Amino acid sequence: MQTIQYIALYFIFRFWNDSTWYQNKEKEIVFIVVTYLLYLLVGWFTWLLRPIKIEVKQTNSLGNGIDQTLILQVDGTTKTDQSLKTVKLELKISRRGSIWWRLLMRIIKGKKLCLEVDPVPEGMFLQAKEHFQIQEVTSTYSGFEIDLTQLMNQLYNQIGKLSIDKTYLYFVTEHQDITIPSNLSSVVQPKLTLNSKPIKFLHLFIDFKTSQHEIKFFKK
């Protein structure tokens, strides 16, 4: 934008009869345009050639595209059974051939890359189904995390394009020990972490897209 503004400024002054400001500005213009193009190029490179794409989709088990789960409690008993409050988390990981693989693997070497699933704000507890049996799923206090490290290593050793899908189910735990405040509404937006820290600049290598799932809790 600033580049365009600058060029516009140059032309305005150039055709403005009584101004001489535009003289000797050609070098500056070239400099600005070249740096701008370089910036675009770098952006294109990282966008086009990111080796890994991770997409997360969450829907209520009722059907496709339902991104909300409602839990109703009347007089202390729940009116929503377990099947109705189950959320389906679909994980799609695509691999691409890229010159950045080696660098990416060096960064995550010896570290743990996880998809963390937690409600915001806290207050409800998410429980992954069959989590004692699924090796990569570990419970955290309010939710759970899916360890992707091993999968990354496997994908690294593959060649060319490859895409895998995984589905996990989770639901809100209701328990005599848990008191959920009235009308609590939380959003579940999974995030990628490296050794439990947000991945930040790793977004340059990992194209990460996630959906939000809203869980609403009503007490009557």
For another protein, the binding residues (CB under 8 A) are 77-84, 125, 127, 129-133, 139-141, 171, 173-178
**Cβ at position 115, least distance to another protein in Å:** 17
Q: Which is nearer to another protein, 161 or 175 (CB)?
A: 175
Q: What is the DSSP letter of 201?
A: G
d(CA 134, CA 30): 58
Q: How far is the CB of 174 from another protein (least distance, A)?
A: 6
Q: What is the DSSP string of 158-188?
A: S-S-EEEEEEEEEEE---TT--PPTT-EEEE
Burial 114-139 (b: 16+ CB within 10 A, else e): bbbbbbeeeebbbbbbebeeeebbee
User: What is the identity of the amino acid at 70?
Assistant: L
Q: Closest approach of Cβ 199 to another protein, in Å?
A: 21
Nearer to another protein, 101 or 170 (CB): 170
Select 104 or 172, whichever has its Cβ closest to another protein: 172
Count of residues for the chain? 220
Looking at the Cβ atoms of 85 and 95, the one nearer to another protein is: 85
CB of 129 to another protein, least distance (A): 6
Query: Is the torsion defined by CA of 146, 204, 197, 67 positive or negative?
Result: negative
Please state the closest distance from residue 183 (CB atom) to another protein, in A. Answer: 21
Nearest to 175 by CA among 60, 74, 78, 75: 78
DSSP annotation of 136 reads T
We find the least distance from the C-beta atom of residue 82 to another protein, in angstroms, to be 5
**Closest CB to another protein among residues 14, 79:** 79
- Using alpha carbons, list the distances in angstroms from residue 177 to 124, 125, 173: 12, 11, 10
| Contacts of 53 by beta carbon, 8 Å cutoff, 6+ apart | 92, 93, 94, 96, 206, 207, 208, 209
Closer to another protein by Cβ: residue 62 or 202: 62
